[in-house]
Structure formats: structure tokens, C-alpha cells
A and B are shown apart, each in its own frame.
Chain A
């Protein structure tokens, strides 16, 4: 028994060493020893006027990916949708940009700032499996919190009164029937929605059903609104779906397929590959979109590189690509229990 107890202690100590020592080295020694090798790309945005990505450099400088240096004033003028307030203050905001009439209000209305982290993906985090559906056509101007929550069961949708905890049979049947009528196959495979009442409008939930077909479900004047989203290419199998709810209403949402190709869902429910087929794995990568009425800069952070794509906001075609691989990986492998990509606590060796 003594031998077994000592073996157990040995295993525990060994695990603690491969957990703590790499952690100490990676957190404290790496920044001293390899300070210049770590850290990602500086802030990078695509300029449609210069037709290149422009980065902030140390101090006040700006530099194009082509190597060209810009003064701060030049960079402000080349990125007028981002530095709008600065240009307005200096009286340098033009009336038209690339032939399109602009105003500070229009720029504010059409700018996009969208972040999606890997841990936002449902498979990368625990879910309580209750969701909130807002009234998308509220009587007052602002969106209001609902008084019920819903859950998907294996053969329907259930609304539960949040004050009493009782299921609302009438509303549940109404929404289940509306989904079934449109061909929805229960149980739901994937869904996404944003129940934040501070947003400007509500697109409800985007759903992928058990047959991997996409739907939009929202509540309009208390009634269910269900719309099937058809794919022109039947070979595409949706995997993840995201509601975007941009202020400009330029998209219904986005989706990725089994091959991690990123698509946009347009306001008239067309599904188009973004940038001709940008790859984005929502379980392994973080995505940031900063866009304006003419072009979007998409940054996808993978394990190997930071990928920047410039995409036309008008037809979603690819304009420019910049892939910045990480210079080296100075981190020691070891035992970890948590990751930045997900919310699970479990042992993993990397």
C-alpha cells in the first residue's frame, strides 16, 4: 500500500511540475527572453483609397504593407471612415469618397465593428440551453426584455413564463407549428441570436435544423416569423451560424460550412461566400470585422498566423489579402487546464 501511495504522490507531483513550470516560464521568462518575437501585428486597416493595408507603427507613424511610410495626417485622409471625427475636427472630411457622397452621420450609420471570439461558439462553452426572444416590432421605440424564455426540445420549442416558471402551451404550439410549417426538422442543430435590448433592431434567431437547413425565426407583433434560408449550392452543409445585426442592416448574418468557408446572408436572404471563400473556423479562430460602406477589413487570428482580408462591402468580393505568420513560438509546451479559445476546464498538453 505504501508503494501505491508513493506512486500516486509521484504522479501528482509530476503533473504539477509539467503544469506549473512551463506556466512560470511562459508567463514571466518569455517576455524577457523573447520580447521582440511575441505579440501580434499592430492595428491594421485596409484603405480603399491607397489600395493597401495600413498599420500603426511605433510612436505616431503609419506604414503601408507595401513598405511605404505615411504621416499621421496622410493616414487619416487615407482611412476617412475610421478617422472621421479627426477629419471633421480638422475640417478635412471630403464630401465624396470614391464617388460616394458621405457625411459623418452616414459614416457612423454604415460603419461596422464586429468581433467574434472562438469561445463565443456554442461548442466551445457550456450552455444552459435557455434563450430569450425579443419582440422585433415593439410598441415603444426601444426593444424590451421579454417575459418568457424558450428552450428547444427534441420535437418542438417551449416558451416558459419567467415569473411563474410554467410553460406557455399556446405560444409554444404557435411557434412550433410555424417552424414545422416551413419544414423545420427538430431538434435544432445550431442557433445564434443576440437578446441585448440596447441594440437598434432585432433579427431574432438564425437556426440550423436537424437536416442542416437554415432558418430565421423572430417574433413580430407577438406572432412567429419564420423564413427558410435557401442555399443556391445544395452541396454546402451549414455548420455554424451568426446573427450580425449591423446598424446599417447590410447583412442578416453569417455562416460557415463543413469546410469552414465563410458566407454572408444578405438582406434578401441570399447566401454568398465572403471574399470568394475565406476560411474561418469559429472553434479555433477569432474574427474581427471593421468595415465601412465601401470595404471591410477582416482579421482572422489562427494558431499559425494573423490573416487580413479586404473585402468589398458592395459585392463581397476579395480586394486584398495579407497573411502574417507568427515569427516563432517561444512558449514551452506543458499541461494546461484552460485555453483562450474555449471556456472549458480540462487537461490538455500543448
Chain B
């Protein structure tokens, strides 16, 4: 199942990896250019005194879009070419197959987002105190969690057969993702991060509702 998903999504994954890492690189270049032009002390002062997501601001919606894009690439063909019907006829547990498909996507996003974080950390670590680069990594964390949530909720919508239910799901998805973007104040989400992780984990089960309805032939 993992191999099948890999064949289906490899080029899209490569593109997602290039785009997300490209944006991270762009932010890092901005940061290095600012240090070169104004000096490290100026950047430190700005980061200490301003409560803004400096140097990660442009990343805000990138993980979310990456999650939606991966879900589209992975699940649109299943619905469009009716592959899901064939998959569900395989002599395997349907639940296990769904978890394997979603697990592949989540692992792929984890690798991609992990690489983003690694680049950010390596780029900022040499010239910033842990308190300052920690502040930037922390502000981006809900955005990356939104990436995982967007992937799972998009899968839930795409796998749904009925259009009216898809619209309902879309509204739920929009409101759920709004929770990840309520504040860009660095560190504001710290008391809420665990709840967001639990929410993302709970979302793994939602596509099962769509698959179950699909099996029943609801379109």
C-alpha cells in the first residue's frame, strides 16, 4: 500500500518539498540579509522588543496548502478513476488500508515539515540565542499542525461521495483550520498545543466516515 501511494504521489511530494523548503530558504535569506545590512544586535533588539513572527511570517499558510495539495494528489485519483472501489474490494481490512494511506501521507508531511524545521533551526542557531530562535520555531508550530489537520480534513472531504455532505465538511474544515490562525503572537499557542495535537490525531478517524458512506453507495 505504501509503495502504491509512493508511486502515485512521488512527483507531487517532490514539488511540495521544494516549495516548502524554498519558502523556508527565502525566509532565511531575508534573515541573513537583514543581519548583514543592520548587524546582529539590531535583529536581536527587534526580536526581543517586537511581538511579531519575524522571518517566518511568509510561511503562515504554506504547510496548510501543502497538506491540502498532498490530499488532493493522493485521493482525487481514487475517487475520479473509481480506484477506491477496487481498493475496497481487496481482501484486506478496509480500516487498515485507510490508515496505511493516511499514515503514508502523514509520514511524508512529517518528513517535509521536519526538514523545514531543521533548515530553520540550522540557519538561525549560529547567530541567535535559543530564546529567540525558539520563539520563531514556536510561532510556526501551529501552522505546521494546521498542515497535518488540513491534509486529514481534505482527505475526509475528497473521499466523501455526496456533494451536499462535502459542502458541510468544507465548512467544518474551514472553521477547524481557523483555530490554528487566531494569533501570530510568538508563543501564544503554548498552553493549547497539546489540544491541537489531540485534535489532529482525532481527525485521522474522520475519513473513515466518508469511506463508510462510500461503501454504502451514498453519492
Contacts and interface: CB of A to CB of B under 8 A. Distances in A.
A218 B44 CA distance: 20
A338 B189 CA distance: 10
Contact of B185 (A4, A9, A126): A126
Nearest to B168: A13
A1 B208 contact: yes
Interface in A142-177: 145-147, 149, 151, 160, 162-165
B192 A337 contact: yes
Contacts of A141: none
Nearest to A337: B182
B175 A16 contact: yes
B108 to A, nearest CB: 23
B4 to A, nearest CB: 22
A179 to B, nearest CB: 20
Interface in B113-163: 126-129, 131-132, 134-135, 138
A346 B191 contact: yes
A343 interface: yes
Given A16-B172, A160-B129, A337-B179, A145 B45 contact: yes
Given A8-B202, A8-B206, A345-B189, A162 B95 contact: no
Contacts of A16: 172, 175-176
Contacts of B187: 126-128
Contact of A130 (B39, B51, B132, B206): B132
Interface residues of A, number: 39
Contact of A338 (B41, B182, B186): B182
Contacts of A130: 44, 48, 129, 131-132
B49 interface: yes
Interface in B82-101: 95
Contacts of B185: 125-126, 343
Contacts of A96: none
Contact of A162 (B41, B189, B212): B41
Contacts of A160: 129
A165 B41 contact: no
Contacts of B188: 126, 343-345
17 contacts: A1-B208, A5-B208, A5-B209, A5-B212, A8-B203, A12-B202, A126-B186, A128-B135, A129-B131, A130-B44, A147-B41, A149-B129, A163-B40, A163-B41, A337-B182, A338-B182, A347-B195
Given A5-B212, A130-B132, 20 more contacts: A1-B208, A9-B206, A12-B202, A20-B175, A126-B188, A127-B187, A128-B47, A128-B131, A130-B129, A132-B48, A147-B41, A160-B129, A165-B128, A165-B129, A337-B192, A343-B51, A343-B185, A343-B188, A344-B191, A345-B182
Interface of A: 1-2, 4-6, 8-9, 12-13, 16, 19-20, 125-132, 145-147, 149, 151, 160, 162-165, 195-196, 337-338, 343-347
